[in-house]
């Protein structure tokens, strides 16, 4: 049972990492979210990014929330 939980958490962290990284790439390619894949990625990652964005100081056009979330996910991946 322990191996199942560990594998599930690792898979979840990898999936979140990929989704947040896709959101970063998406901000350069299609920031408006004009297709279904873009909308899915934005809706999936926004609950992770919005609280971090509120805690960080305003930096103008530069949004560092994805960087912080990616670093936290990476640290959690290394912990498992």
**Mean residue pLDDT across the chain:** 93
Residue with structure tokens 């873009």? 38
| 57 Rama sector, left if φ>0, alpha if ψ -120 to 50, beta otherwise | beta
Say what the pLDDT of residue 80 is. Answer: 79
Q: What percent of the chain has pLDDT over 70?
A: 100
- Global model pTM greater than 0.75: yes
Q: How many residues does the chain have?
A: 80
Say what the pLDDT of residue 31 is. Answer: 81
Distances (CA, A) of 36 to 17, 30, 44, 51: 20, 11, 12, 24
């Amino acid at each position: 049972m322990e191996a199942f939980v560990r594998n599930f958490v690792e898979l979840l962290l990898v999936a979140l990492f990929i989704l947040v990284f896709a959101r970063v790439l998406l901000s350069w390619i299609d920031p408006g979210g004009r297709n279904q894949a873009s909308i899915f990625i934005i809706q999936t990652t926004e609950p992770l990014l919005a609280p971090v964005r509120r805690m960080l100081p305003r930096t103008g056009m530069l949004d560092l929330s994805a960087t912080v979330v990616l670093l936290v996910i990476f640290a959690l991946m290394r912990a498992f």
